[in-house]
């Protein structure tokens, strides 16, 4: 394997890890197209990207644990839902138009973005959660996103951030931190399926994991140091850039 190519993959991993560690979104939109550009078939690119994501999941979780930003009251139900969703997503065998689905996710992210501007205090200060019906609806929506995250995942982090902020009342940093452990369960379950189907490129995956390990910690550390207002601005910027990718390059 060309050392130069693996170095490029590692650098991509640092960028991806930083974006996800900082805002919980945008990683797959960067890495999957670039892995395909480097010669991996789409299915293998998705599986390899998920393998590499273990790096930022581990390092950013470590940082957020130290900083006490994780809302543990949600961890158990979210981890269970995320694991089931990841398994279902990774085992989807029906012929689904992934390109169309990515477009739909892109539209959903764009339609929800105005909420960030209309409710400027949302995500800056922790809010009271809604009714039990709203929480149930939130967990149901999270399950659907987890299924999508299990087999593709591009843009899923943005949808989860919206959900945690506007339904569960978390701040931007809490939403990012609290999702990391459930995502780790989702990733492990889906990766186990991908391993069984032999669709992971391990040299690329290990190089990406090393990069995301570094980038994830730097991103999480930046989020904790700079605060929710900074993360809100970064979130908006990364969403807008991702929307350009969705619209013009999907």
Q: What is the mean pLDDT of the chain?
A: 87
| 27/21 Cα distance (integer angstroms) | 9
Is-above-0.95 flag for pTM?
Answer: no
The token duo for 177 is: 């931190």
Contact 35, 209 (CB under 8 A): no
Q: Lowest-pLDDT range, 207-211, 220-224, 232-236? A: 232-236
| 162/98 Cα distance (integer angstroms) | 22
| Number of domains forming the structure of the chain | 1
Burial class of residue 105 (count of CB atoms within 10 Å of its CB; 0-12, 13-18, 19+) = buried
| 69/218 Cα distance (integer angstroms) | 16
The token duo for 36 is: 């395909």
Contact 145, 160 (CB under 8 A): yes
Contact 79, 185 (CB under 8 A): yes
Which positions ≥6 away from 111 have C-beta within 8 Å?
A: none
| 218/56 Cα distance (integer angstroms) | 10
Contact 108, 162 (CB under 8 A): no
pLDDT at 230 over 80: yes
Does 148 or 139 have the greater pLDDT score? Answer: 139
**Helix residue spans in the chain (DSSP H):** 3-23, 27-37, 42-66, 75-90, 98-118, 132-151, 156-166, 172-196, 202-226, 228-249
pLDDT at 94: 40
Which positions ≥6 away from 158 have C-beta within 8 Å?
A: 24, 25, 26, 109, 239, 242
Confidence of residue 1 (pLDDT cuts 50, 70, 90): low
- For residues 165-172, average pLDDT: 91
Query: How far is the first Cα of the chain from the last one, in angstroms, to the nearest whole number?
Result: 28
Q: Which domain holds residue 165?
A: 3-249
Does 184 or 120 have the greater pLDDT score? Answer: 184
pLDDT at 93: 41
| 228/225 Cα distance (integer angstroms) | 9
| 105/193 Cα distance (integer angstroms) | 24
- For residues 196-218, average pLDDT: 95
| 125 φ, ψ (degrees, to nearest 5) | -125, 145
């Amino acid at each position: 394997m060309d050392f130069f190519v693996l170095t490029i993959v590692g650098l991509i991993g640092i960028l991806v890890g930083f974006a996800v560690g900082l805002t919980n979104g945008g990683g797959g939109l960067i890495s999957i197209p670039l892995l395909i550009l480097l010669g991996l078939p789409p299915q293998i690119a998705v599986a390899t990207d998920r393998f590499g994501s273990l790096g930022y999941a581990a390092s950013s979780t470590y940082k957020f644990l130290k900083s006490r930003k994780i809302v543990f009251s949600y961890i158990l139900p979210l981890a269970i839902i995320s694991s089931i969703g990841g398994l279902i997503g990774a085992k989807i065998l029906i012929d689904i138009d992934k390109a169309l689905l990515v477009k739909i996710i892109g539209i959903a992210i764009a339609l929800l973005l105005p909420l960030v501007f209309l409710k400027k205090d949302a995500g800056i200060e922790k809010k009271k959660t809604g009714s039990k019906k709203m929480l149930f609806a939130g967990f149901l929506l999270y399950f659907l996103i987890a299924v999508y995250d299990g087999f593709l995942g591009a843009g899923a982090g943005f949808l989860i951030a919206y959900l945690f902020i506007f339904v569960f009342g978390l701040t931007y940093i809490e939403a990012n931190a609290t999702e990391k452990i459930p995502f780790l369960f989702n990733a492990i379950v889906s990766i186990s399926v991908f391993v069984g189907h032999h669709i992971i490129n391990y040299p690329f995956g290990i190089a990406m994991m090393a990069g995301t390990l570094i980038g994830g910690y730097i991103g999480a550390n930046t989020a904790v140091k700079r605060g929710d207002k900074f993360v809100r601005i970064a979130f908006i910027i990364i969403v807008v850039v991702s929307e350009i990718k969705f619209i013009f390059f999907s």
